[in-house]
Structure 1
Amino acid sequence: MYILLWNAGILGILTPQVLGWGIQYDGDQVLRIIPENVKQVQCLQEMCQSWMLDLWKPLQPEDITVGNVVHVRIPSTALQPMKQDLLHCSLSFEILIDNVKHLVGPKPKGTEQRHKRSLASYNYTKYNSMEEIYHWISQMSESNQGLVTQHFLGTTYELRPMHYLKISLQSNKSKKIVWIDCGIHAREWIAPAFCQWFVKEIVQKHKSDPKISKILQNIDIYVLPVLNVDGYIYSWTHERLWRKSRSQHENGTCYGVDLNRNFNIKWCTLGSSTNCSSNSFCGSSPASEPETKAVVNFIEKNKSDMICYLTIHSYSQFILTAYGYTTELPRNYNETIKVARMAASELKKKHGIDYSVGTFSKLLYEASGTSQDWVHDLGIDFSFTLELRDNGTHKFILPEDQIRPTCEETMAAVMTIIDYVDDKYFPNSAPVVSFFFWSKVFVTYTVLQMM
């Protein structure tokens, strides 16, 4: 006999912490379901497909398997018939989020004016709109000449610019490249928040932190704060839980492509959908989307110098190595797993949060067309996906009071990875000590000799 597990109120008492409005999600619930046999798997798959439900974990109905957790958002209008179907299939469930609206919260007041803040007063512990991020990108470049420069990557489907920041110190020697992108999925707001935090930390500490100073002698770091600009804006203005881009398909009857299924690596085979209404719609062809194409063009142009690729996502608390499109291990699996474990260990030291380490297909789900796998098969060995907080409580709607600790621990993980590849490719380099320091040493030595 199966028992329906009700856990209403787990999150209902929480104060709204997150922005986002338009679709209110009033009465929508997120359920946790674990099918116990093949019959229940098939039944749940059929329900997800017939109701076109918003699967959060895994992303595709065909990835639902026996004994593995399923997180799914149920619209309020479908709650009762859906629960009846679950009962009919003897599927137990618990309610993780009793009312999604409680977490999404109301439209913020005064957001329109926040972009006018100075760089010194920029708030890295709040989620920032795209307008604010654009302004921040310009200010960061203007205020840190000689270290940070702003560059144009491409144009989105809705003709918005994609800007990235290059963090680089002038050097006479040939340097390598580390690429970091955030916000490929619109609703994962913590990812762009981290990219901004990362830039801020490098800018503030590059003179005082010997490790950062050493890295910047050898490596230029490129940071794309928001890859999916159109989708990110839409998640602020209309639908907080929107995932995809905003391109039109089938004569405007459906919108958006999962940009992380649009790369030319086993395109649209596993964990992807040809249905344009699906959250995992892979597009009309590999790199069919202007956003994807812009990233592809840049990486193909710079692949000979790129030594590390990091793409930031949420949620699950994973550090993932290639591959997603196959269960086979990548050529340098032992080394990349070692680095990922080192990063997870340093991350945990900050706030005690555990991150799991493994391949994309083993820990998350099988997926083709991902940027991480495409980059790895270009020959860039150190290609990682970081799935940030949390591990299931708030999911995509991470409260703002968790931005700082999440960014602090992620910074530790990312710097561990970058430091490793720096040591690997530049084993004999040492931090440059400033002329001012050596002048003081020389003066002190001279004075002592004269005494």
Structure 2
Amino acid sequence: MTVLKLGRKSSSAKNAIFMDCGIHAREWISPAFCQWFVKEALSTYGSDSQMTSLLDQMDVYVLPVFNIDGYDFTHKSNRMWRKTRSMRSGSSCVGADPNRNFNAGWCTLGASSNPCSDTFCGYSPESEIEVKNVANFIRKHKPTIKAYITIHSYSQLLLFPYSYTYELAADHSELLKVAEGASESLRSLYGTRYTSGPGATTIYPAAGGSDDWAYDLGVKYSYTFELRDTGRYGFLLPESQIQPTCEETMLAVKYIAAYVQKNIY
């Protein structure tokens, strides 16, 4: 798994944002966005004052494809595959849902203990090597990681903790305020409407998600994007929508990043 670190070189440790794409294999617009972000960050550094300031003051860790084996499988065998591709002796069912495999209310609400299910939580928290690697990386860099952003599709939502409980997060009002500002920023380009809110009530309850796990670890600004669309094309978003989706999402991510930069805790 390849993590890219974007930022101006510094002799001392800088605060950082961690962003991943492609947790769910079939959500192809997600890895497309991470690639777009990297291209934009590197090509506009020096000309875009906001991006320049961000990369001067912070580092951005980008994991362009989280679920590599699953993503590969969607290109070669089954376009609608969602899970990882891990095998377990004695079971004919392949993989677990990496976004049900984090140790956050693990395998309770909205997750399945059936290995054949699309929302199978895995055999234990972090049983999936991809999840274990990301969790270890974030734990290792926990003192500096101030925001966690994970990109999914589809539904046009900007979600934050919690998904494993209906209880509101301690920082609920601030997280909502930032999400609404980011959604407004996104809408300014093509009029695309996003709904903001905690995962459990805004989309559905789901235990074991990466954003809840990161938040409970102490990463305050923890967000999940569900990109275009709202169901017409779903996971099969047409090629003509790749660039507009990336452009508008970039505005929202930059909004969150700028806020985090000014509100380091």
Which interval holds the TM-score relative to the shorter structure? over 0.9
Match of 1:353 among 156, 168, 192: 192
Match of 1:224 among 42, 63, 83: 63
Which residue of 2 is the match for residue 387 of structure 1?
A: 226
Asked whether 1:299 is paired with 2:138, we answer: yes
Which residue of 2 is the match for residue 206 of structure 1?
A: 45
C-alpha separation in 1, matches of 2:264 and 2:205:
31
Matches within 5 A, 1:194-343: 194-249=33-88, 251-343=90-182
Deviation at 1:217, TM superposition (A): 1.8
Matches within 5 A, 1:372-451: 372-425=211-264
Which residue of 1 is the match for residue 5 of structure 2?
A: 166
Which residue of 1 is the match for residue 19 of structure 2?
A: 180
Letter in 1 for 2:66: L
C-alpha separation in 2, matches of 1:251 and 1:311:
33
SS of 1:163's equivalent in the other structure is coil
Gaps of 5+ in 2: none
In the TM superposition, structure 1's runs of 4+ consecutive aligned residues that sit over 4 Å from their partners are none
C-alpha separation in 1, matches of 2:216 and 2:248:
29
Deviation at 1:172, TM superposition (A): 4.0
C-alpha separation in 1, matches of 2:53 and 2:264:
12
Aligned-pair identity in percent equals: 50
Deviation at 1:299, TM superposition (A): 0.6
Letter in 2 for 1:368: A
Instruction: Out of 243-252 and 260-269, give the one that drifted further.
Output: 243-252
C-alpha separation in 2, matches of 1:309 and 1:244:
21
Contact map agreement 1:249 1:276 (CA 8 A) in 2: no
C-alpha separation in 2, matches of 1:425 and 1:208:
24
SS of 2:3's equivalent in the other structure is strand
Map Cα deviations across residues 113-136 of structure 1 (whole Å, 9 max, x no partner).
xxxxxxxxxxxxxxxxxxxxxxxx
Deviation at 1:244, TM superposition (A): 0.3
SS of 2:78's equivalent in the other structure is coil
Deviation at 1:363, TM superposition (A): 0.9
SS of 1:358's equivalent in the other structure is strand
Using the size of structure 2 for normalisation, the TM-score is 0.98
Letter in 2 for 1:326: T
Deviation at 1:251, TM superposition (A): 2.1
Matches within 5 A, 1:112-123: none
SS of 1:186's equivalent in the other structure is coil
Map Cα deviations across residues 270-329 of structure 1 (whole Å, 9 max, x no partner).
111111110000110000111110001101111111100000000000000100011111
Deviation at 1:173, TM superposition (A): 4.5
Distance 1:174 1:249, change over 3 A: closer
SS of 2:136's equivalent in the other structure is helix
Contact map agreement 1:319 1:356 (CA 8 A) in 2: yes
Using the size of structure 1 for normalisation, the TM-score is 0.58
Map Cα deviations across residues 198-228 of structure 1 (whole Å, 9 max, x no partner).
0000000011011111111211000001000
Compare relative contact order (CA 8 Å, sep 6+) and give the higher one, 1 or 2. 2
SS of 1:283's equivalent in the other structure is coil
C-alpha separation in 1, matches of 2:180 and 2:88:
41
C-alpha separation in 2, matches of 1:290 and 1:372:
18
Number of residue pairs matched by the alignment? 265
C-alpha separation in 1, matches of 2:220 and 2:91:
39
Deviation at 1:425, TM superposition (A): 2.2
Contact map agreement 1:307 1:381 (CA 8 A) in 2: yes
C-alpha separation in 2, matches of 1:371 and 1:200:
25
Map Cα deviations across residues 244-283 of structure 1 (whole Å, 9 max, x no partner).
0011135241101000000111110111111111000011
Gaps of 5+ in 1: 1-161, 427-451
Letter in 1 for 2:84: S
C-alpha separation in 1, matches of 2:201 and 2:242:
27
C-alpha separation in 2, matches of 1:374 and 1:302:
15
C-alpha separation in 2, matches of 1:273 and 1:170:
44
Letter in 1 for 2:52: S
